[in-house]
Chains A and B, each alone.
Chain A
């Protein structure tokens, strides 16, 4: 970070001389904080889409084991036989991983920038007026969500801590054996600490989305007096939808509604 003010005192002149470099467009955009916020926002939108469809897909749970397991099978065989089994899903996963990586990298580098922008903190306590819990804890809610995602993958995708994952079963009326997603989910949520972690992480996800989904509008410059008042409602609604949907799964399992 350039020093705004030199410690030596002298005249200021010729400050606007800037070397303009030709760089690939995305690298160029990403070089500034405003550009990084675009990346935060764009990847945020992608990840929001993911959590929304993930939640909607999981609602199949309420339709019974066969439906949920069949849905999992559908994802595994997306575009089959055009593409080999599992490939499209991995391409989508690759996209998600890239978005997550960019989201994290942008967050990390902006945090470093912001720390440098105020190396000496206020020595008395601040009295914030507008900044809310959500906006001020983005990086912490983000870290917890990341940890949860890792656990969630180990638990329900790779089955490292879940013996039910990967078992192939058949359902009445189906010819083909499919993975027992339903069973592994039920197994997972019957462990109280896992269910609690799941609930806490999803509430934090909601808080993260509450600020993030609103923030996208500002970062992207989507600002129009006609719909500005809906921006906050959208973020609140979206966050609430995802949280209610996701939290209902462990609750349903614990309460014995599903299982």
Chain B
């Protein structure tokens, strides 16, 4: 049932720190079961490296269930590797074959500076959420949960975009380093819900403008959708663009009243 892959060559980006010059380094994996996950393969490599007295390869990972969004990695030129709708942590070695050379690079964007080796800092995503990716509902004052019925299709559509795990694959895959899919997924989640209407336009304006400070622009390549482990559709980007335009009118009126 389980087979082994032989002679895997890994080309891994090593970089000692944010300012250091990085380079690819080659490692050999002589044999590994195809049951192993991709990150377990890196665990084994690291264990060997530590055993040899060398420094382990630094990479971000945590839940290994494809939900926390901590893992990243550009694997053979694809964010999260070759399997569609799958985060790196759920990718398994059975997707590769003996003799393969696998190239692993960190995600690259000015908003995602490299911390070390394959680990990048994705705090810019937090800045976008902090600027408006929420519904202001301070603890204690909430009305009964069933007070406002939400049609099932709307709740389902909101959930579709709320599934975003914030991994940053969209930015990594985008030829322009744009974060429109990430930002729009949150905008679409909250702006579709009745609870989100009060701040609909201030939210989208603040989030888009914060996004602009850090990321590139969307030129509608669609690479983000293909890389997204949750397969969030770029339809949400269109929704964000529409709401942004409306926001510019709506917020102008508000501003004029002040």
Contact = CB atoms under 8 A, between A and B. Distances in A.
B90 interface: no
A223 B219 CA distance: 16
Nearest to A29: B248
Given A211-B220, A219-B220, A122 B255 contact: no
Interface of B: 11, 13, 18-19, 22, 24, 74, 76-78, 103, 105, 108-113, 121, 123-124, 126-127, 130-132, 173, 175-178, 180, 206, 208-210, 212-223, 225-227, 234-235, 237-245, 248, 252, 255
Given A114-B176, A117-B176, A124-B103, A18 B206 contact: yes
Interface of A: 1-5, 7, 12, 15-16, 18, 20, 22, 25, 28-29, 32-38, 110, 113-114, 116-131, 135-136, 138, 211, 214-215, 217-223, 228
B243 A221 contact: yes
A28 B249 CA distance: 11
B111 A117 contact: yes
Given A4-B123, A117-B216, A124-B76, 14 more contacts: A1-B110, A5-B124, A20-B255, A28-B248, A32-B208, A114-B176, A117-B109, A118-B108, A122-B108, A123-B13, A126-B78, A130-B222, A218-B220, A228-B235
Contact of A122 (B105, B220, B248): B105
Contacts of A223: 235, 238-239, 242
Contacts of A3: 110
A201 to B, nearest CB: 22
Given A130-B226, A218-B237, A37 B218 contact: yes
A113 B176 CA distance: 8
Contacts of B175: 114, 126, 128, 131, 136
Contacts of A18: 131, 206, 209-210
A65 B250 CA distance: 54
B22 to A, nearest CB: 8
B121 A4 contact: yes
Contact of A4 (B78, B214, B239): B214
Contacts of B222: 130-131, 135
Contacts of A7: 18-19
Contacts of A228: 235
A127 to B, nearest CB: 4
B86 to A, nearest CB: 13
A16 B173 CA distance: 27
A12 B126 contact: yes
A121 to B, nearest CB: 7
A4 B110 contact: yes
Nearest to B216: A117
Contacts of A222: 238, 242
A219 B22 CA distance: 37
Contacts of A25: 248, 252
B217 A37 contact: yes
B215 A117 contact: yes
A37 B241 contact: yes
Contacts of A116: 110, 216
Nearest to A120: B108
B257 to A, nearest CB: 12
B110 A119 contact: yes
A15 B124 CA distance: 11
Contacts of B209: 18, 32
A219 B131 CA distance: 22
A178 B132 CA distance: 62
The 4 closest A-B pairs by CB, nearest first: A221-B242, A117-B216, A223-B238, A117-B177
A121 B223 CA distance: 16
B238 A124 contact: no
